[in-house]
Amino acid sequence: MDYRKELMIEPGAKARLKDIDPDYSGKNQNHEKATPEIAAYLDRMSALQALLYAERKHALLIVLQGIDAAGKDGVCWHVVKGMNPQGCSVTGFKQPSKEELAHDFLWRIHKCTPELGHVSVFNRSHYEDVLVVRVHKLVPKEVWQQRYDLINDFERLLIQANTTIIKFFLYISKEEQLERFKQRLDDPARRWKISDADYKERDFWDDYTLAYEDMLSKCSTKHAPWYVIPSNHKWFRNLAISQIICATLEDMGMKMPEPTVDIAAIRKLYHQAAAEQGKRR
């Protein structure tokens, strides 16, 4: 199963979340079967990231968006863990600071994009400026409406600099969100994540749905597509995302770079050092 084809929002298509089942878990898939598959993808991801880091010709940007409790942190814990932190960073974009508000809305984003050979993961992203900003009317409509084109241009700029972009929208039902809020309340280790604002935001569910649909429809492009990941089942979320990341890295056609030193000369030095060490014994 190629989840890229199945879960991608086709560029130019109108996204309708009501037509997507957040409970979907793939054909003939279950948690037991998925567990070893996820482990295999994480192993492959680790190897591919090492190749990315060694070659230093490409960069990868992974964007995570979703309603509260959709699983953005969970992806960082259970999928991104397959990456070597030496070549991977995770940035969480919260409410902009005073300094950030004094710049254009993409200023704080651009400086966090990956250099060649690296992976950057955005836990929330520049899309907040057409989501929460829109829903809560933090700027006029004529301002946020222009941002879709600006975002597409920004992502095209990154692509031209050899950055591949994968964007995941984690889609859960309103009922699943409430159940996850309850789990947080019942678990002392996760209570710190809950706040009254989470419940207040539920009043804007329909407004967010419209905002998400516009985001997906207007910003799923050939160079930076959006994938809607049904996320009521956490294991399926992890399976689909890990598979898509691996497939995307595979498509880069990376090769291990040739050594920049004379291997024969270095090998000679090695044998000399080994011989000296043997004498000391």
pLDDT tens digits, residue range 100-132? Answer: 999 999 999 999 999 999 999 999 999 999 999
Cα–Cα nearest to 92, from 82, 80, 104: 80
3-280 topology per CATH: Rossmann fold (3.40.50)
Cα–Cα nearest to 192, from 200, 184, 180: 184
Q: How open is the CA angle 128-105-206, to the nearest 5 degrees?
A: 25
Structure confidence at residue 275 (pLDDT): 87
Reported in sequence order, the residue ranges of the chain that DSSP labels E, i.e. its strands, are 59-66, 88-92, 119-123, 163-171, 226-230
Structure confidence at residue 242 (pLDDT): 97
Residue type at 71? G
Q: Do 15 and 213 meet the contact criterion of CB atoms below 8 Å apart?
A: yes
Residue 138, both tokens: 């933090």
Q: Distances in Å between the alpha carbon of 260 and those of 57, 257, 273, 278?
A: 16, 9, 21, 29
Length of the chain counted residue by residue: 281
Its pTM stands at 0.94
Structure confidence at residue 144 (pLDDT): 98
Q: Do 138 and 132 meet the contact criterion of CB atoms below 8 Å apart?
A: yes
- Could you give the dihedral angle defined by the CA atoms of residues 211, 131, 78 and 17, in that order, rounded to the nearest 10 degrees? 0
Residue owning tokens 């569910």: 205
Q: What crossing angle do the helices spanning 147-160 and 205-219 adopt, rounded to 10°?
A: 50
Structure confidence at residue 198 (pLDDT): 85
Reported in sequence order, the residue ranges of 6-125 that DSSP labels E, i.e. its strands, are 59-66, 88-92, 119-123
**What is the SS3 assignment for 71?**
coil
Q: Do 156 and 96 meet the contact criterion of CB atoms below 8 Å apart?
A: no
- Sheet containing 226-230: give its strands across: 88-92, 119-123, 59-66, 163-171, 226-230
Distance CA 39, CA 52 (A): 20
Distance CA 112, CA 91 (A): 7
19-66 pLDDT, tens per residue? 999 999 988 789 999 999 999 999 999 999 999 999 999 999 999 999
The rounded average pLDDT for each run of 10 residues, N- to C-terminus, in the chain (281 residues) is: 93 97 90 95 97 97 97 96 95 95 97 98 98 97 98 98 98 97 91 87 97 98 97 97 97 92 87 83 68
Q: Distances in Å between the alpha carbon of 118 and those of 226, 230, 242?
A: 21, 27, 17
Structure confidence at residue 19 (pLDDT): 97
